[in-house]
Amino acid sequence: MKITWLGHSAFRIEIAKATILLDPFLTHNGSFAGQDIKDVTAGVTHILLTHGHGDHVGDTIAIARETGAVVLANADLAAWLGSKGVSKIEMGNTGGTVPLAGFSATFTNALHSSAQITEDGVSHALGSANGLMLHFDDEASIFAMGDTDIFSDMALINELHQPDIGLVPVGDRFTMGGAVAALACQRYFNFKTAIPCHYGTFPIIDQTPEKFVAGMEGAKTEVKAIKPSESVVL
């Protein structure tokens, strides 16, 4: 499995049977600057969305049209994307599991919002914010937390799914900050690897993952604080 961080909460995940984009906010993502959209979208088979905010939906519509990728989203967001011309959609909602090619995706809870104000000034209610628990046929499992604060039912998510890898928001203001994210990882999960995200994109959120890295010192979890465009093979 190869995981590439594209900046903010956008990731490219490559396995034998699928190439996945998670929350592909690329065009207006300052952390993505210098990367080539054509390169990171090449061969994409699936686009997975945690919620409806513009910094997560990002370039989904254009990428789906260009690549023919299947888009997974909550039911409200999926319906909205369908109205925008996205033809291959898998929808679900909190607690549900969707089987896909070589993996499955389970919608978990996240403490966040999900509405989006579009260019026409209209506010669209796009369902609940979620995390996504990804189980692969022949690879380590991934829990993409989405945008969230800490909450005690993370313990149940760990009990049910035993995720190996955590994609953890640490930027504060719109998600939990680094110190709280470290507490969440150590108290509620047994990740083998944690990759921090959702920082450094905008001036008003934390610019580095240093608080998270410091909070994880001494933990059994290996922290991979990679830079945008960098990859890890797990």
pLDDT tens across 61-102, in order? 999 999 999 999 999 999 999 999 999 999 999 999 999 999
Domain CATH number, residue 65: 3.60.15.10
Beta bridge partners of 124: 116
Gap between the Cα atoms of 89 and 69, Å rounded: 9
Q: What secondary structure letter does DSSP report for 47?
A: E
Average pLDDT of the residues in 113-123: 86
Q: Whose CA is closest to 29, among 49, 52, 56?
A: 56
d(CA 147, CA 154): 14
- Please name the amino acid found at residue 91: M
Supply the range of the domain harboring residue 118: 2-233
pLDDT at 73: 98
Do 3 and 21 contact (CB within 8 A), yes or no?
Answer: no
Query: Mean pLDDT, the chain, as a whole number?
Result: 97
- Distance of alpha carbon 18 from alpha carbon 95, whole angstroms: 23
**119 pLDDT higher than 80:** no
Instruction: Report the pLDDT value the prediction gives residue 138, as an integer from 0 to 100.
Output: 93
Q: Distance between CA atoms of 141 and 31, rounded to whole angstroms?
A: 26
- pLDDT exceeds 90 at position 217: yes
Total number of domains in the chain: 1
Q: Give pTM, 2 decimals.
A: 0.97
Name the β-bridge partners of 133. 106, 143
Reported confidence tier of residue 117, pLDDT bands at 50, 70, 90: confident
